[in-house]
Chain A
């Protein structure tokens, strides 16, 4: 489910110079709350499918259920990090600070999702690989990615001039996305990672595709599909709320500036 209005409200940018009150179109707010409700109920459906509908994996047992969360959290995270890239490029082209607000919002939504991916991954690896963490190429990439986006937020905090901050953040957000692409591609093109490829083909390493029933078992496949859709939707809904918060903060700043002048 694509959230069509995911980036919509930022077009009603509050004018920062005058601080005038800009209301969002009513249908947009309605759509957002409708989506939020659906996402909230969808969480229950997803959890029900993960816990009861999908069935227990023959070899890994209950631990395998973590996959439904682990992979889809990564998908949601990479979708919003791609939004960071788009917002960065759009900012560099248009120089409209609304794109910068979208960029910072997307990183703040994406980073927790990637943290979910890391934590669930470690929890899965402990019983299956017998270690929480190992220097596997894909895991290394994940660590680098997490640090990069954390550094993105630090960089923003350290630059005071808003235009300069937006410019630097756009550049850094584009650079950081290399890590997302790397993590997605690495087990598909190389043979020296033991991380499984759960979805889609692995060009050079068919062994990494593994015998996961996700590929052959309909119920597991359906659960994975629903989980992926849920996490991507939840990411975009969260992003939408976060952008609204950022717009509100901008309005407060503008009011403050008007009061002090």
Chain B
């Protein structure tokens, strides 16, 4: 029987679905990331105890510090698990384009990071008494985590081959995540102060253009990262 290889879109969706199904069964990764996120918010809550004025100001910082660090941890773990079990090698043998593999992985990484962001926002809603009803906050979370997940997936695929994975991944991902953090924190800060879109459109534009640049470069370069 000849099985027709799936199209780019099909392959991408199937890879994402496979990862999600595996995660739904074990729930090890998302629970670890969520717990890490909540813990970090708690740490911020108690380190800022007695300074309620600072707490309100610190919200964007707390969100993005937590998302970036929890995201780096989670991405590193999910990719090394695949590498250690040999799943990645099997996927590379499949008759699908490498870009489909990349985008499938990216969707899952994005969903995970986004989930952490939502959980962290929810925790801050309760602990920091934050008003997160502005749609802009969630939009920034959406496009900020997209750029981060893109670079995390690309560079995470490199870090699994490194000698000290756990330290190498943050070192190579965080400098690239820094511009995302700068844009997102400034945008979220302006949003919380209830400023008009024109006040933070620059930062939203920075995030959107970083997403485009990162996606385009990953599309071009991922093949070179995973060949072998």
Contacts and interface: CB of A to CB of B under 8 A. Distances in A.
Nearest to B220: A174
B164 interface: yes
Contacts of A155: 158, 162, 168, 171-172
Interface string B174-195: 1110110010000000000000
A174 B158 contact: no
B48 to A, nearest CB: 21
Contact of B182 (A140, A158, A161, A178): A140
Given A140-B182, A147-B178, A155-B162, A174 B217 contact: yes
A141 B171 CA distance: 17
A161 B224 contact: no
Contacts, number: 66
Nearest to A157: B163
A92 B224 contact: yes
B32 interface: no
B221 interface: yes
Interface in A125-164: 135, 140-141, 143-144, 147-148, 150-151, 154-155, 158-161, 164
Main secondary structure of the interface of A (DSSP, over half): helix
A170 interface: yes
A102 B169 CA distance: 25
B178 A154 contact: no
Contacts of A161: 161
Contacts of B163: 158-160
A225 B53 CA distance: 52
B225 interface: yes
A154 B158 CA distance: 13
Contacts of B182: 135, 140
A143 B225 contact: no
Contact of A154 (B154, B168, B227): B168
Contacts of A164: 161, 228
A168 B154 CA distance: 10
B202 interface: yes
Contacts of A174: 217, 221
B213 interface: yes
A171 B213 CA distance: 14
Nearest to B226: A167
A175 interface: yes
B158 A148 contact: no
B107 to A, nearest CB: 21
A151 B171 contact: yes
Contacts of A175: 176, 217, 221
B224 A151 contact: no
B217 A158 contact: no
Contact of A143 (B162, B176, B178): B178
A143 B176 CA distance: 11
A231 interface: no
A82 interface: no
A159 B159 CA distance: 8
A140 B175 CA distance: 11
B152 to A, nearest CB: 13
A192 interface: yes
Contacts of A150: 175
Interface of B: 154-155, 158-159, 161-164, 168, 171-172, 174-176, 178-179, 182, 202, 213, 217, 221, 224-225, 227-228
Given A159-B158, A168-B158, 11 more contacts: A140-B182, A141-B179, A143-B178, A151-B175, A155-B162, A158-B163, A159-B163, A161-B161, A167-B225, A171-B224, A172-B155
22 contacts: A135-B182, A140-B178, A140-B179, A144-B176, A144-B179, A147-B175, A148-B175, A148-B176, A150-B175, A151-B171, A154-B168, A155-B172, A158-B162, A158-B164, A158-B168, A159-B162, A160-B163, A164-B228, A168-B225, A172-B158, A174-B221, A175-B221
The 5 closest A-B pairs by CB, nearest first: A147-B175, A158-B162, A158-B168, A148-B175, A168-B158
